[in-house]
């Protein structure tokens, strides 16, 4: 069965060229060490946990063939978004990455599409860069961190960006930085910053977009949350209870659950029970295939995992694997 993957990362080839030349890459510097070493920048240290992050385009396509993935929608590895940089440097990073993604997708239009990265530290520059990127046929929207240097997406300064993205029909894919969530400061054991901290960030951005009125003000906005939105849908009853019981906290005219079906969610949820709950909560039309390439191992493949789930009907599998994204992104 055909499969389209909304959640596939890319570490730009320009970064590896800079490392080979002994240069920094837009303020990021490389430290040799275990595996592919560590990238330092933005107050974070990012280790590369998969050798596939250095794959060439041809190697990526061969790996997609091996995983039976027909198309990937590429987005930058989130620690590299560069929101911490001065605005002009952030724009230079974004333009370089977006041109590389667009070139890759143009060379392989049946296999690759792209999501832009944006200099969100300057909303005007981010809107302009999204407009530039969306003029490239293979670019379908933008990938975004779950916050911007600690600022949340319901801040009034970001509303013009969402309105512009809505007008352009751009898909916005929200994905947290694994090395930058509050759980890292609370506990450094058991890998919880990744297994749990990341999905808590997903839930927070879901709640912010809903409770902060972003979806109310931009009803036609297309937005997808990574990792199935984390535990946001599981917590929707509590959010509704707060809306009903504490009117002073309301940021929207309707309870939060009225908005959860306006978002899309990928399948990187961990197990069948969680995916079934997600589908039953938001509807099958709002769930799309994701793999978190190349950081999550799948057996036999991300699509094969979905195809093997007994609780899904054949129609549900088809919608998750490709039909929903075909319609959503015009693929």
pLDDT above 90 covers a percentage of the chain that reads 89
Burial 14-23 (b: 16+ CB within 10 A, else e): ebbebbeeee
pLDDT digits over 159-179, tens only?
999 999 999 999 999 999 887
> What average pLDDT does the structure give for the chain?
96
CB 137 within 8 A of CB 101: no
328: its two tokens? 């959503």
**What pLDDT was estimated at residue 96?**
98
d(C-alpha 200, C-alpha 229), whole Å: 9
CA distances from 135 to 21, 111, 116, 245, 306 (A): 32, 19, 11, 46, 33
Q: CA 295, 96, 294: angle at the middle one, nearest 5?
A: 10
pLDDT digits over 272-293, tens only?
999 999 999 999 999 999 999 9
Backbone φ and ψ for 190, nearest 5 degrees, come out as 65, 10
Give SS3 for 244: helix
d(C-alpha 326, C-alpha 131), whole Å: 22
**What pLDDT was estimated at residue 34?**
83
**What pLDDT was estimated at residue 192?**
93
**What pLDDT was estimated at residue 44?**
85
Q: CA 269, 271, 275: angle at the middle one, nearest 5?
A: 60
CA distances from 286 to 157, 222, 266, 278, 283 (A): 28, 11, 9, 9, 6
pLDDT of 43 over the 90 cut: no
d(C-alpha 143, C-alpha 242), whole Å: 30
Give mean pLDDT, residues 136-147. Answer: 96
pLDDT of 78 over the 90 cut: yes
pLDDT digits over 234-258, tens only?
999 999 999 999 999 999 999 999 9
Q: With respect to CATH, is domain 4-11+55-329 assigned 3.40.470.10? A: no
pLDDT of 49 over the 90 cut: no
**What pLDDT was estimated at residue 47?**
87
**What pLDDT was estimated at residue 307?**
97
d(C-alpha 14, C-alpha 101), whole Å: 11
Give SS3 for 208: helix
pLDDT digits over 99-133, tens only?
999 999 999 999 999 999 999 999 999 999 999 99
169: its two tokens? 């029909």
Domain chopping of the chain, boundaries:
4-11+55-329
d(C-alpha 128, C-alpha 149), whole Å: 20
**What pLDDT was estimated at residue 320?**
98
* pTM assigned to the model: 0.97
């Amino acid at each position: 069965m055909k499969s389209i993957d909304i959640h596939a990362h890319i570490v730009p080839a320009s970064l590896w060229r800079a490392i080979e030349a002994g240069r920094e890459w837009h303020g990021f510097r490389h430290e040799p060490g275990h595996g592919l070493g560590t990238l330092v920048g933005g107050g974070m240290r990012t280790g590369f946990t998969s050798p596939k992050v250095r794959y060439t385009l041809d190697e990526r396509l061969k790996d997609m063939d091996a995983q039976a993935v027909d198309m990937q929608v590429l987005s930058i590895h989130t620690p590299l978004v560069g929101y911490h940089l001065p605005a002009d440097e952030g724009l230079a990073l974004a333009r370089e990455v977006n041109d590389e993604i667009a070139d890759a997708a143009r060379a392989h239009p049946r296999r690759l599409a792209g999501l832009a990265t944006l200099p969100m530290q300057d909303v005007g520059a981010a809107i302009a860069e999204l407009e530039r990127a969306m003029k490239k046929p293979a670019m379908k929207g933008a990938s975004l961190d779950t916050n911007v240097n600690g600022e949340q997406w319901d801040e009034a300064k970001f509303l013009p960006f969402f309105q512009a993205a809505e007008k352009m029909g751009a898909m916005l894919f929200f994905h947290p930085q694994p090395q930058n969530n509050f759980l890292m400061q609370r506990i450094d054991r058991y890998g919880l910053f990744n297994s749990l901290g990341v999905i808590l960030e997903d839930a927070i951005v879901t709640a912010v977009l809903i409770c902060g009125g972003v979806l109310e003000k931009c009803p036609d906005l297309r937005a997808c949350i990574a990792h199935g939105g984390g535990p946001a849908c599981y917590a929707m009853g509590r959010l509704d209870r707060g809306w009903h019981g504490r009117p002073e906290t309301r940021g929207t005219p309707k309870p939060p659950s009225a908005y959860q079906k306006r978002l899309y969610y990928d399948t990187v949820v961990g197990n069948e029970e969680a995916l079934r709950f997600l589908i039953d909560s938001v509807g099958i039309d709002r769930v799309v295939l994701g793999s978190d390439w190349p950081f999550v191992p799948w057996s036999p493949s991300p699509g094969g995992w979905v195809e093997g789930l007994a609780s899904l009907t054949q129609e549900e599998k088809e919608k998750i694997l490709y039909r929903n994204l075909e319609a959503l992104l015009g693929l």
